[in-house]
Amino acid sequence: MSEFLASPTIQETLKILKNEFLFATWETVYVTVIATLFAILLGLPLGVLLVAGEKNSVMPIPKTVLRILNIIINLLRSVPFLILMIVVFPLTRLIVGTAVGTVASIVPLTIAAFPFVARLVESSLREVNPNVIEAAQSMGASPMQIIIKVMIPESIPSLISNFTIAITTILGYTAMSGIIGGGGLGKIAINYGYYRYKYLVMILAVILLILLVQIFQTIGTKLATRLDKRLKNR
């Protein structure tokens, strides 16, 4: 056993583990959370608009506008993330000042994720019982009040579940952003494992990514269940 631990590969791996993994994990979590927040910031209003803006809904917008929004969302969602990262370089440079690095990777991540989030929000809001919306209208609620006080609060459990899906997906994307110099576990997996054939390091990085997904998913599911007041027997 001690012989095994003394082998150069293991020694090196342990060194990398000690020196780089903690920071890399932090970077991954930080980029994922920030990008998810931005994606929700953009995706939530967009998703609301997709539902509330429909013809017979609470805040109708012109059909053409709705159609254009749908096309943009579909378009952004169909571009592979790897390509998207490169395409948005100019925008990233404009916002962050540079196109490479950990902070810079937040921009393509947000752009890739917000249309996805908008679709998730759309599906959550469609679950809201239309009769409840009608009841709010009968009490004199304005369109904005219906959105803020009825549609969103009533779909909170579903929104949380969907945001959990979003955060785990974005976590997967961050691993890819290692290619443009984004930091994190993905970078370690690519740099050591792919470029320098240190497979043990790569496997460890992947295991950590899996653990992170598990943690996010567990927290999300717990939160969604706890916040759902429709579940009687708690």
Partner 1 sequence: MIEIKHLSKSFETSDKTVHALRDINLTINDGDIYGVIGMSGACKSTLVRCINMLERPTEGQVIIDGEDMGALTDKQLRERRRNITMIFQSFNLLMQRNCLKNVCFPLELAGMKKADAEKRAMELLEIVGLPEKAKAYPAQLSGGQQQRVAIARALATDPKVLLCDEATSALDPKTTHAILSLIREIHDKLGITVIIITHQMSVVEEICNRVAILDDGQVVEEGTVDAVFSTPKSDAAKRLVSPDGLDGLPAAKPGEHRIRVVFQGSGATEKPLISALALEQGISASILYASTRSIGEKAFGTMLLGIEGDDDTRTRALAYFDKFEDISAEEVRGDE
Q: Output the DSSP codes for 154-180.
A: HTHHHHHHHHHHHHHHHHHHHHHGGGG
Hey, which residues between 147 and 186 contact partner 1 (CB under 8 A)? 149-150, 153-154, 156-157
Residue 175, burial from CB neighbour count under 10 angstroms (0-12, 13-18, 19+): buried
Lay out the site mask for partner 1 across 192-231 (x = CB under 8 A, - = otherwise). -----------------------------------xxxxx
CB 119, min distance to partner 1, A: 22
For residue 186, which of 11, 38, 39, 21 has the smallest C-alpha distance? 21
Cβ closer to partner 1: 86 or 134? Answer: 134
Under the binding rule (CB under 8 A), the answer on residue 137 touching partner 1 is: yes
Q: Could you say whether residue 232 binds partner 1 (CB under 8 A)?
A: yes
Write out the two tokens for 230: 């429709």
Least Å distance, CB 132 to partner 1, is: 5
> Burial, 1: exposed, middle or buried (Cβ in 10 Å; 0-12, 13-18, 19+)?
exposed
- Asked whether the CA dihedral 104, 109, 112, 114 is positive or negative, the reply is negative
Phi, psi values for residue 11, rounded to 5°: -55, -45
Please, which residue, 19 or 142, has the CB nearer to partner 1? 142
Piece of 20-28, 117-125, 128-136, 160-168 that binds partner 1 (CB under 8 A): 128-136
Total residues interacting with partner 1, rule: CB under 8 A: 25
Asked whether position 55 contacts partner 1 by CB under 8 A, the answer is: no
Interface residue with partner 1, options 7, 98, 142, 221 (CB under 8 A): 142
Which member of 134, 194, 221, 222 binds partner 1 (CB under 8 A)?
A: 134
For the stretch 71-101, what's the b/e string if a residue is b when 16 or more beta carbons lie within 10 angstroms of its beta carbon?
eebeebeeeebeebbeebbeebeeeeeebbb
Q: Is 58 helix (H, G, I), strand (E, B) or coil?
A: coil
Those residues whose C-beta lies under 8 Å from the C-beta of residue 129, and which sit 6 or more positions away, are 154
Residue 44 CB, nearest approach to partner 1 (Å): 17
- Answer for which of 91, 132, 210, 211 binds partner 1 (CB under 8 A) is 132
Question: Which chain residues interact with partner 1 by CB under 8 A?
Answer: 129, 131-132, 134-142, 145, 149-150, 153-154, 156-157, 227-232
